[in-house]
Chains A and B, each alone.
Chain A
Amino acid sequence: MFVLVEMVDTVRIPPWSFHRQLNDAIAEELNKKLANKVVYNVGLCICLYDITKLEDSYIFPGDGASHTKVHFRYVVFHPFLDEILVGKIKGCSAEGVHVSLGFFDDIIIPPESLQQPTKFDEAEQVWMWEYETDEGAHDLYMDQGEEIRFRVVDEVFIDTSPSGPSAKKEGPSAAATAPPAGAEDSAQQKEAPYTLIGSVSEPGLGLLSWWNS
């Protein structure tokens, strides 16, 4: 689920850090910038692996800090397609089962990818697998906190840069009506920059407790 990614970036070291070892200052800046952040189409950055090349450091007019082009490798969380992972059920909604790994939260198993037949219990807000045996049907609940084994079937990267002012511009006279732009923004912000789509519709997938003898 982890990969090594080679990147190049320009690191700015402020003058008050000039006394430090360059490699240490650079490592700290890179981790400050990238750790726990998503790089579009790459994955969730975990921590710096190593620095492979430092180019010359420059100081530009007007800025006392040094700028260094750094070639480095970073540990990134990026499961490969079809990889099997184990996580914990965060909760259920009409959209499906939400799974978390602790350090990564945005995993969804949509209803069509659950073991079939499956039903959403509105009252309990939980998905359940209506498992048929010769003795009759057992309702297997996908409860919060349960460990779940799933297959990664897709990934979605969303570019979450600010989109600028919305097309529908309210004139100053319409200031009395509160524009819905606030709600729209918060909805956009709630979309994770990196989401994994999972599936549990195969033997061996789903709650670990279903398969442990």
Chain B
Amino acid sequence: MKINHGFTKVTVDQLRDANAAMLSNYEVYQLLTDLKEKRKEMVKNKHSTGQQNLNTIMYETLKYLSKTPCAHQNPDTVKKFLTSMLPHKLTKAEKLQLLNHRPQTAVEIQLMVEESEERLTEEQIDELIQKVTDVLPGDPQKEADASADPEMETDQ
């Protein structure tokens, strides 16, 4: 599929708020997945000229997001995650990054939390990693591979 490397510029009459809200990868993934379903029913329309740009950006964005932790999230896990983050006093941007990336190491946490050396002790960083790992689902395939016991493999 040809990617539109040369993005073209458009303008609208009025920009009311260029930053009305931050969206998590999960929210965008859900939105695009739902839109894709709706458009499947409109077979005639989605192939008409002019719809190609929407098709392309939807396909590529879904492809990217499907390989990130958000593809395994649902409204409950997101809510549970945000609740578990309350005592840590993180900013919205920091929580968003933890949600989007599901960091597994201290080094990743330190990248996403500003001035983490001053705000978090080593134990608190470990606590964050534990919460992120427990509350947010990982990639089931990767975890199945990781836990596969090589000694159990037999020729079939």
Given contacts A2-B28, A5-B18, contact A39 B10 (CB under 8 A): yes
Contact residues in A for B107 (Cβ distance below 8 Å): 203-204, 211
Contact residues in A for B111 (Cβ distance below 8 Å): 84, 149, 151, 202, 204-205
Given contacts A3-B22, A10-B13, contact A35 B28 (CB under 8 A): no
How far apart are the CA atoms of A71 and B16 in the complex, in Å?
9
Do A37 and B16 touch (CB < 8 A)? no
How far apart are the CA atoms of A78 and B21 in the complex, in Å?
11
B 16-38 contacts with A by CB, 8 A: 16-25, 27-28, 31-32, 35
Task: Tell me, rounded to whole Å, the shortest Cβ–Cβ distance linking B103 to chain A.
Answer: 9
Contact residues in A for B40 (Cβ distance below 8 Å): none
How far apart are the CA atoms of A84 and B6 in the complex, in Å?
24
Task: Tell me, rounded to whole Å, the shortest Cβ–Cβ distance linking A189 to chain B.
Answer: 6
Do A47 and B110 touch (CB < 8 A)? no
Interface of A is mostly: mixed
- Report the interface size for chain A: residues with CB under 8 A from the other chain: 59
Residues in B lying within 8 Å of A, measured CB to CB: 3-25, 27-28, 31-32, 35, 45, 50-51, 53-54, 56-58, 60-61, 63-64, 68, 93, 97, 100-101, 105, 107-108, 110-112, 114
Q: Enumerate 21 A-B pairs (CB-CB under 8 Å) in ascending A order.
A: A2-B25, A6-B16, A8-B13, A9-B14, A34-B10, A35-B54, A37-B7, A37-B9, A41-B18, A47-B32, A47-B35, A47-B57, A47-B58, A78-B19, A84-B97, A101-B64, A102-B61, A106-B7, A160-B9, A193-B9, A211-B107
